[in-house]
């Protein structure tokens, strides 16, 4: 372990963008910003399985790593048209306002592959959005890339429509493996590529 340096303890607020093509460009990196979000969480879904030996009383003597899945969860706080059309499988442009209208059921039915709506998703830490070199501020803040992120809502999604809280759409982007890049990269911007 390195020497304790409390200056390395950080809070990492940031923004989400999808369809990104160039990390060296300013946010949204050639893609589209997801709108106002809060509560961004990178989640790892995995399990480990104990290996027990009867001779030791059935206690675990080793653990087998199971596969892992990664996702980014957030609460979208606006009804931004880009966010709505990305998160919901069935939307259309409104005939009068030209804003997105969500329909259920729609043309995307149960059993449709979620990968038909996959995006490249990038978490960009605030303060590092214009970091172009190792001497710029906050270049040590971590970026996260999901190379094939499947946009969806939380299974039991509750969308806040009331006076005491922001509009809240519980979004989840589940990563699936890319054929050459893996599922996720998490690190400093200058070490990552799209």
Closest by CA to 175, choosing from 144, 146, 145, is 146
| Top-confidence range, 41-45, 134-138, 146-150 | 146-150
Position 105 scores a pLDDT of: 84
Position 8 scores a pLDDT of: 64
Position 132 scores a pLDDT of: 46
The predicted model scores a pTM of 0.82
Position 136 scores a pLDDT of: 52
pLDDT in tens, 49-104: 999 999 989 999 999 988 889 999 998 888 888 888 999 898 999 999 999 999 88
Residue 117 pLDDT level (bands cut at 50, 70, 90): very high
Residue with more model confidence, 6 or 30: 30
Is pLDDT above 90 for 160? no
């Amino acid at each position: 372990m390195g020497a304790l340096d409390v200056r390395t303890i950080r809070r990492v607020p940031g923004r989400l963008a999808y369809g990104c093509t160039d990390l060296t460009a300013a946010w949204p990196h050639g893609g589209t910003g997801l709108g106002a979000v809060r509560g961004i969480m990178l989640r790892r879904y995995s399990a480990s399985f104990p290996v027990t030996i009867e001779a030791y009383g059935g206690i675990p003597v080793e653990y087998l790593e199971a596969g892992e899945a990664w996702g980014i969860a957030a609460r979208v706080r606006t009804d931004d048209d880009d966010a709505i059309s990305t998160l919901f499988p069935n939307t259309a442009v409104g005939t009068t306002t030209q804003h997105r209208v969500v329909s259920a059921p729609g043309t995307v039915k149960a059993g449709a592959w979620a990968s038909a709506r996959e995006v490249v998703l990038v978490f960009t830490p605030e303060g590092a959005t214009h970091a172009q070199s190792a001497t710029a501020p906050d270049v040590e803040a971590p970026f996260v890339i999901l190379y094939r992120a499947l946009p969806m809502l939380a299974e039991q999604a509750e969308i806040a429509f009331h006076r005491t809280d922001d509009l809240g759409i519980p979004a989840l982007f589940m990563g699936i493996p890319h054929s050459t890049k893996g599922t996720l990269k998490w690190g400093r911007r200058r070490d990552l590529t799209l």
